Amino acid sequence: MDVIFAIVATTKYMPSNISEIKKIFHLKGITAWKKIYLKAIIPGVITGAVTGIAAEWNASIIAEYFSVGSGKVITSVNIGVGKALNLALKNNNLTLMVILLANMVLMIMLINYFIWRRLYNGVNSVYS
């Protein structure tokens, strides 16, 4: 859903003179979609993908070790950041919690720098 909302938000900021551009260059149908509309919504697709993947990652960390109020474990994996955080919290191991949180922050920063920022800057330099 994040991708859809980002695309809709991106289309709201498209120039209002698109119809004039289509008339000048005689663009119709699929050609207009390829040359104008798809290129205009690509930044929205990238932005929506960033927010959608971030939300999924948060949900997957929580789903690694999930228990109800009575202490009954509903889902658990053998290894993972979510389970390790839960066990560190349960055992009052502050050192392990800080290491795990620092690891997650570092991973997010690296992914943002090497993947998302480069994708977004590449799209913006071509289509803006």
What integer pLDDT is reported at residue 114 of this predicted model?
92
Q: How far is CA 29 from CA 11, 32, 35, 40, 84, in A?
A: 17, 5, 10, 16, 53
What is the reported pTM? 0.65
Lowest mean pLDDT among 31-45, 65-79, 111-125: 65-79
Domain that holds residue 34: 2-127
Q: pLDDT value at position 99?
A: 95
Provide, rounded to the nearest whole percent, the portion of the chain with pLDDT above 70.
Answer: 97
Q: Which two tokens stand for residue 120?
A: 């977004």
How many domains does the chain fold into? 1
Average pLDDT over residues 86-97: 91
